[in-house]
Amino acid sequence: MSSIEKFLTSQINKLKDNHLFRTLSANSDLVDFSSNDYLGFSRSNLLKNAIEEELAKQASWMIGSTGSRLISGNTQYAIDLENDLAKFHNAEAGLLFNSGYDANLGIFSCLPQKGDTIILDEKIHACIIDGSRLSYANRYKFRHNDLGSLEQKLKIAKGNIFIGIESVYSMDGDSPDLVGMVELAEKYEANIVIDEAHGAGVFGPNGKGLVSELGLEKKIFARIHTFGKAIGAHGAIAMGSKALRDFLINHSRSFIYTTAAPFHSLAAIKLAYKELNKQPQLQTDLQNKILLFKSNLVKNNRLIESYSPIQSVVFSGNENVLKVYEALKNKGFNVGAVRSPTVAKGMERIRVCLHLFNSDDEIYRLVNEFNQYL
């Protein structure tokens, strides 16, 4: 065996020994309690038909965008979509990215300069960590959702300060005290960059996000909304001032050096937002599903407090989590098994995502299974 093959095999064996080995499996016919399709948009026949009609209306639509937006990949359709989305979210301007990963990578790698400071919640998503690592700014972490810990870091921060947070944390499903953070940011003249990946479509009027729910649009420096979760499509938009948009177009490498999203992808985003506009009750309906799950657990002291569709129940230890995961799978439920080191040791959990399309009966049956392990 060559030395690189030996290295790969030994790394894989280590993962297997620690119950951390991942494999790809095709989607199953289990009941979906794990995807990010909170509103069911990605499987909506109504949306599928609307997208087909939109494509048919544009007789000359192209399969691919043919290049970066700065070269041949831009269209009036993309510009109109950005303007419409920025208006919907009460932002001055917006810039589309091909994914949430690209948006966060692009922003955090190019905005903070040498001598500036990035302060991140310790549970921030990997793409923000990766973006920050590409920047020459100083980096600090603060304890999860802890204003005191954030202030300690703000006191020692230099240059332009960027605070990176999420409106809903993807593993715990919880949210920050955004009002308190805005007050602190104002006190230290810091700029909040908030990733609304899991808040988009879920919180705020018509699913405009947590920032809009709290009326803080003018107090937040940048918002990232992704389209791969409740919006049911793919891609992301970064929103803020017009100057921010211009800066990103000129400096964000994950925007500049990649082929723009194709037309059919933009059409899917446009029509999903149209649906959000048309159906203001979706967010309340989703909250009712979440409540049904939470209120029927016999013991909820292992449930991490969350008002989002992400509900995590802690079963310490990778082996324990896998045992419950397999048992739920055998009963027909697809949930997430989140192990350490993705989460801290002792906080391994089953992660349940609730959706509008989960019937009340499916939720009752899932909770009944869960209750046997609590």
Ligand X SMILES: Cc1ncc(COP(=O)(O)O)c(C=O)c1O
Applying CB under 6 A, the residues found at the interface with ligand X are: 99-101, 104, 125, 127, 166, 170, 195, 197-198, 226, 228, 236
User: Closer CB to ligand X, residue 111 or residue 367?
Assistant: 111
Least Å distance between CB 93 and ligand X?
20
Rounded to whole angstroms, the Cα distance separating 83 from 156 reads 38
User: Closer CB to ligand X, residue 269 or residue 367?
Assistant: 269
Beta strand pairing call for 333-334 and 31-32: parallel
CB atoms < 10 A from the CB of 257, how many?
10
Rounded to whole angstroms, the Cα distance separating 177 from 165 reads 11
Strands of the sheet containing 336-338, edge to edge, are 310-314, 349-353, 336-338
Burial class (CB in 10 A: 0-12, 13-18, 19+), 91: buried
User: Closer CB to ligand X, residue 197 or residue 261?
Assistant: 197
Least Å distance between CB 133 and ligand X?
16
Burial class (CB in 10 A: 0-12, 13-18, 19+), 39: buried
CB atoms < 10 A from the CB of 145, how many?
19
Rounded to whole angstroms, the Cα distance separating 222 from 239 reads 6
User: Closer CB to ligand X, residue 65 or residue 170?
Assistant: 170
Tokens for 179, please give them: 């009002």
User: Closer CB to ligand X, residue 38 or residue 101?
Assistant: 101
Least Å distance between CB 234 and ligand X?
7
Q: Helix, strand, coil shares of the chain as percentages rounded to 5?
A: 45, 15, 40
Tokens for 335, please give them: 């949930």
Rounded to whole angstroms, the Cα distance separating 22 from 12 reads 9
Least Å distance between CB 169 and ligand X?
7
If residue 223 lies in a helix (H) or strand (E), which one and from where to where?
Answer: strand 222-226
User: Closer CB to ligand X, residue 116 or residue 196?
Assistant: 196
Using CA of residue 274, residue 248, residue 147, residue 294, what is the dihedral sign? Answer: positive
User: Closer CB to ligand X, residue 157 or residue 248?
Assistant: 248
Least Å distance between CB 199 and ligand X?
9
Rounded to whole angstroms, the Cα distance separating 319 from 186 reads 45
Cα→Cα distances 237→52, 67, 197, Å? 23, 19, 10
Which has the closest alpha carbon to 174: 140, 210, 204? Answer: 210
User: Closer CB to ligand X, residue 40 or residue 100?
Assistant: 100
Least Å distance between CB 295 and ligand X?
26
User: Closer CB to ligand X, residue 208 or residue 362?
Assistant: 208
Amino acid at 211: V
Least Å distance between CB 115 and ligand X?
27
Least Å distance between CB 229 and ligand X?
7
For ligand X, the nearest residue by Cβ is: 100
Least Å distance between CB 236 and ligand X?
5
